Amino acid sequence: MEELSAIPETALWTLYHRAVEARRPGTPYPDPKAVELVERLDYPFAERFGSGKGFASRLQGARCGLFDQEVADFLRRCPRGTVVCLGDGLETQYWRVDNGRAQWLTVDLPEAVELRERLLPPEPRQRLLACSATDPAWFGEVDPALGVLIVAQGLLMYLEPAEVRELFTRCAERFPGGTLLFDVVPRWFSTMTKAGRADRRGYKVPPMPWGVRSHELLRDARTVPLAGRFGWLFRVLALDLPDQRARIVGTVGLALALRRG
């Protein structure tokens, strides 16, 4: 497999650790599609990303489990709605929670979409769009009439604070009544990545410009409870977008709060 640039390569990192966790006896996070994909790819996963026996695989399983439960809940409420996956990489959530009726749209960088198209060819209700998550071009591809859930799993931390603020504002304006589901990393971990101090073995963790302190979390967002011991490293938040025009207020994209305008 050809070499990928830093952020798209995280798709292989998360895929590998999901598969490792899925193989663990008694895991609550099965992921047959991820296991199948790792087994058939000619890629030095263990050499590049480690044995997978540490906390990283448990962390990825727990994180995906949180996102899965929220997506499954949305599909129960809006069975024919649209799930928009920003920065989807090689995520296999569709095969874990799809209800057979919903529409799925993956929005990712051209390099990542090309890889996904080869390794995880889209099924009839899945579409792939090659553009940045910050490009408003993808908004026109979504019909919000039957409900929309925007999933930004493992994405926003790689954006600049101003880009995060602008994305939140545009989503609130375009999809009133929808929900934005995303995770955040703490500011101290963001600082570590920018200084190159979060690297593991031969894997260089890309810089994560957007980190958030606990007191800076969105006041109108609901924290998805995390079972286990990983709350110190990330939080998953669900933000219900207001039914009228919204605005983001805050300081340099940090103390963000979404208010009804």
Question: pLDDT tens for residues 70-113?
Answer: 999 999 999 999 999 999 999 999 999 999 999 999 999 999 99
Neighbouring-strand partners of residue 240: 179
Mean pLDDT of the chain: 82
Helix (H, G, I), strand (E, B) or coil at 253: coil
Helix (H, G, I), strand (E, B) or coil at 184: strand
Q: Rounded to an integer, what distance in angstroms lies between the CA atom of residue 222 and that of residue 237?
A: 6
Statement: 64-260 belongs to CATH 3.40.50.150: yes
In percent, the amount of the chain with pLDDT more than 70 equals 81
134-165 tens-digit pLDDT: 999 999 999 999 999 999 999 999 999 999 98
| Exposure b/e, 60-73, CB count within 10 A at least 16 = b | bbbbbbbbeebbee
| Distance (Å) of CA 118 to CA 112, 121, 122, 245 | 10, 6, 9, 39
- pLDDT given at position 133: 96
Q: Which residue bears the tokens 């989503």? A: 171
Tell me: pLDDT of 218 over 90.
no
pTM: predicted TM-score of the whole model, two decimal places: 0.86
Instruction: Give 200's DSSP letter.
Output: B
Which phi and psi angles does 40 have, rounded to 5°? -95, -5
187, 213 contact by CB (below 8 A):
yes
Q: What are the domain boundaries of the chain?
A: 64-260
**Confidence label for 249 from pLDDT (cuts 50, 70 and 90):** very low
Nearest to 256 by CA among 166, 176, 192, 191: 166
Ranges 80-89, 176-185, 211-220, most confident: 80-89
